[in-house]
Amino acid sequence: MKQFIVIGLGRFGSSVAKTLTDNGHDVLAIDLNHQIIQDISNDVTHAVEADATDEEALKTLGVRNFDVAIVSIGDNIHANILSTLILKELGVPYVIVKAQDALHGKVLTKVGADRVVYPERDMGERIAHNLISSNVLDYLEFAPDYSVVEILASQNMIGKSLGELEFRSRFDVNVMAIKRGQHLNMTPGASDKILEDDTLIVMGKNENLDKVRDF
Ligand code: ATP
């Protein structure tokens, strides 16, 4: 279970915060607006009314103990950039920020954002792709018990072939690809051996994927 902070609970931020909580993660939701905090308080782990440009306030909330922060303050670009800077300076390892446009994104990268997202642009592209091809990931959205995940090869896997490991019969999951450095084997077969530092891309029921992680 990871610990997330979501700052700015507009449509994007509140949807990120609720989805993370629904998937069993710890979520601290922060917004300036009292009513918004009241409304979301039953849907996330903690909801706090605070100004994300106030360094002392973020320090008091212990943001440095969280793994990931998502900054989704929209219209106030100044607040969006400043809170990103503060979160990085306070030591949050991974900060994802919603940007308005490419120039804004560039500034966010300069102040330390680890990932910049453009939800409207990305969603537009996704819908367009969707219209011209079917996408397995969209099916997964409607099957919340199933996921595609990356799993680092464990000691029990290293040196064995997929045939020997029998993932399908043992765990009822499918190894879709094997990542080795920069190379991606997208058609793995029974004779393909798993080496140290390989990452397997595996699809299956969440409970079965947990078993593969523990194997
Ligand atoms: P969306 O498109 O996701 O609905 P938006 O891009 O229109 O949202 P805004 O509504 O401008 O974004 O901001 C999202 C939220 O961020 C608002 O609920 C606002 O109260 C909150 N917010 C703005 N500034 C701050 C701040 N300094 N600290 C905490 N929250 C803030």
Residue spans per domain, the chain: 3-117, 121-213
CA of 136 to the centre of ligand 1 (A): 32
User: Nearest C-alpha to atom 7 of ligand 1 is from which residue?
Assistant: 74
Which atom of ligand 1 lies at the shortest distance from residue 79's CA? Answer: 27
166 in helix, strand or coil?
Answer: coil
* pTM assigned to the model: 0.73
Which atom of ligand 1 lies at the shortest distance from residue 13's CA? Answer: 3
CA of 39 to the centre of ligand 1 (A): 15
Which atom of ligand 1 lies at the shortest distance from residue 51's CA? Answer: 28
How would you list the strands of the sheet with 26-31, edge to edge?
46-49, 26-31, 3-7, 68-71, 94-98, 115-117
CA of 114 to the centre of ligand 1 (A): 20
| C-alpha–C-alpha distance, residues 212 and 150, integer Å | 11
180-187 average pLDDT score? 92
Which atom of ligand 1 lies at the shortest distance from residue 33's CA? Answer: 20
Q: Could you tell me which of 79, 124, 77 has the C-alpha nearest to residue 101?
A: 77
- Single-letter code of the amino acid located at 126: R
pLDDT class of 203 with cuts at 50, 70, 90: very high
- Position 67 pLDDT exceeds 70: yes
pLDDT of residue 126: 79
* Ligand 1, pocket residues at CB < 6 Å: 7-13, 30-33, 36, 51-53, 72-76, 79
Alpha helices by DSSP H, listed for the chain, are 11-22, 34-40, 55-60, 77-89, 102-110, 119-132, 136-141, 162-165, 167-171, 206-214
CA of 101 to the centre of ligand 1 (A): 16
Compute CA distances 79 → 55, 69, 100, 102, 169, whole Å. Answer: 12, 15, 13, 17, 52
Please give the torsion angle defined by the CA atoms of residues 19, 145, 92 and 30, in that order, rounded to the nearest 10 degrees.
Answer: 20
- Position 21 pLDDT exceeds 90: yes
pLDDT of residue 33: 97
User: Nearest C-alpha to atom 21 of ligand 1 is from which residue?
Assistant: 8
- Position 6 pLDDT exceeds 90: yes
The matching CATH number, chosen from 3.90.700.10, 3.40.50.720, 3.40.50.300, 1.10.3080.10, for 3-117 is 3.40.50.720
Q: For the chain, how big is the Rg over CA atoms in Å?
A: 20
User: Nearest C-alpha to atom 23 of ligand 1 is from which residue?
Assistant: 73
Give the fold, CATH level 3, of 121-213: Alpha-Beta Plaits (3.30.70)
Q: Which two tokens stand for residue 210?
A: 């947990």
CA of 208 to the centre of ligand 1 (A): 38
Evaluate whether 3-117 and 121-213 have a shared fold.
no
Task: Kindly report, residue by residue over 125-145, the tens digit of the pLDDT.
Answer: 878 877 776 556 666 666 778
| Cα within 13 Å of Cα(15), Cβ side | 4
CA of 9 to the centre of ligand 1 (A): 6
91-101 average pLDDT score? 96
Q: Could you tell me which of 18, 17, 52, 16 has the C-alpha nearest to residue 33?
A: 52
pLDDT of residue 136: 64
